[in-house]
Amino acid sequence: MQLCDRKVIVTGGASGMGRHFCLRLAECGATVYASDINEEGLASLVDQGNGRISSGLCDVSREDQVVEMVSDACRKMGGLNGLINNAGIFLDSMLVKKESDGQTVRKMPLEKWQKVIDIDLTGPFLCTREFAAKLIETDTRAGVVVNISSVSRHGNQGQSNYSAAKAGLVADTKLWGLELARYGIRVGAIAPGFIHTPILDAMRPEIVEGVIKRIPLRRLGEPEEIWQGIRFILECDYFTGRCLDIDGGVVV
Ligand SMILES: NC(=O)c1ccc[n+]([C@@H]2O[C@H](COP(=O)([O-])OP(=O)(O)OC[C@H]3O[C@@H](n4cnc5c(N)ncnc54)[C@H](O)[C@@H]3O)[C@@H](O)[C@H]2O)c1
């Protein structure tokens, strides 16, 4: 799929990698609809978009909001061709942890489990379902979905919720790739390693240094390097049902 004049939704477009993808897509001549829960971030993105980026508030874990968001995107852009399921959060906690008093056992709260599953797995399910339904209804036979998973899909301590969601998203990438091929819709995923975004800026420098020591290429990735993978998946018409790990070799 050529990017020029294609119509692409990016969830979580207000900040970090999603924001970078929106700006790159617009530079390539695509029409972009950014959705997020961050109203201020969306407004400044639209200002930067040279008339190629529109936006809508949407919590991807809410079915009613996703149904409305995909219809709004289709209306504002005059059709749909691409969806980047990028919105995501993490809320880390060990499953159980013995406290320093040697007696108390702290448990991962159900709310932490559920919130991450709702946003990182149910969100992409709802967005992809609505996107695919709209393409089929409008007989658009050129559609691509890109799911943003994570290196944590292989399992990362303290991330039962996040690892389950991101691994589930890769499983669904395969399934949706199979189920949607008959409608001309391709589905791919990217599993980024540790990428330089505001999420990591919030971590203590010594923790970031520890992370970098575990990466064979000895540095964090940049949003641009994830964009290169997204661009490949969007443009390569023979790619579907697969996940690209772009992680500096961290899981090799
Ligand atoms: N930064 C990394 O190192 C890294 C590594 C692997 C995977 N990822 C994944 O990449 C994606 C983007 O991460 P980022 O680092 O750019 O983070 P970020 O926090 O900068 O961006 C995430 C965006 O998602 C939005 N969002 C949060 N909850 C939402 C909801 N319920 N509905 C709609 N939007 C919501 C946020 O407002 C924010 O704009 C996430 O899915 C994340 O899990 C990030």
- Ligand 1 mutation pick, 21, 55, 66, 89, max ligand atoms within 8 A of CB: 89
Percentage of the chain exceeding pLDDT 90: 93
Q: Which residues line ligand 1 (CB under 6 A)?
A: 11-12, 14-18, 36-38, 41, 59-61, 86-89, 119, 148, 150, 192, 194-195, 197-200
- Ligand 1 mutation pick, 9, 127, 150, 169, max ligand atoms within 8 A of CB: 150
User: Which domains occur in the chain, in start order?
Assistant: 7-246 (3.40.50.720)
Entry pTM: 0.98
Which string of DSSP letters, residue by residue, matches the chain? ---TT-EEEEETTTSHHHHHHHHHHHHTT-EEEEEES-HHHHHHHHHHTTT-EEEEE--TT-HHHHHHHHHHHHHHHTS--EEEE-------B-SEEE-TTSS-EEE--HHHHHHHHIIIIIHHHHHHHHHHHHHHHTT---EEEEEE--GGGG--TTBHHHHHHHHHHHHHHHHHHHHHGGGTEEEEEEEE-SB-SHHHHTS-HHHHHHHHHTSTT-S-B-HHHHHHHHHHHHH-TT--SEEEEESTTTT-
**Looking at 33, 162, 183, 238, which residue is catalytic?**
162
Q: How confident is the model at residue 203 (pLDDT cuts 50, 70, 90)?
A: confident
- Ligand 1 mutation pick, 69, 86, 115, 163, max ligand atoms within 8 A of CB: 86
To the query of whether residue 162 is one of the catalytic residues in this protein, the response is: yes
Question: What would the pLDDT profile of 70-89 be if each residue is shown by its tens digit?
Answer: 999 999 999 999 999 999 99
Nearest protein CA to atom 40 of ligand 1, as residue = 88
Cα 21 to ligand 1 centre (Å): 12
Mean pLDDT of the region 159-181: 98
Question: What would the pLDDT profile of 117-162 be if each residue is shown by its tens digit?
Answer: 999 999 999 999 999 999 999 999 889 999 999 999 999 999 999 9
Cα 34 to ligand 1 centre (Å): 13
Q: Is pLDDT above 80 for 250?
A: yes
Nearest protein CA to atom 42 of ligand 1, as residue = 88
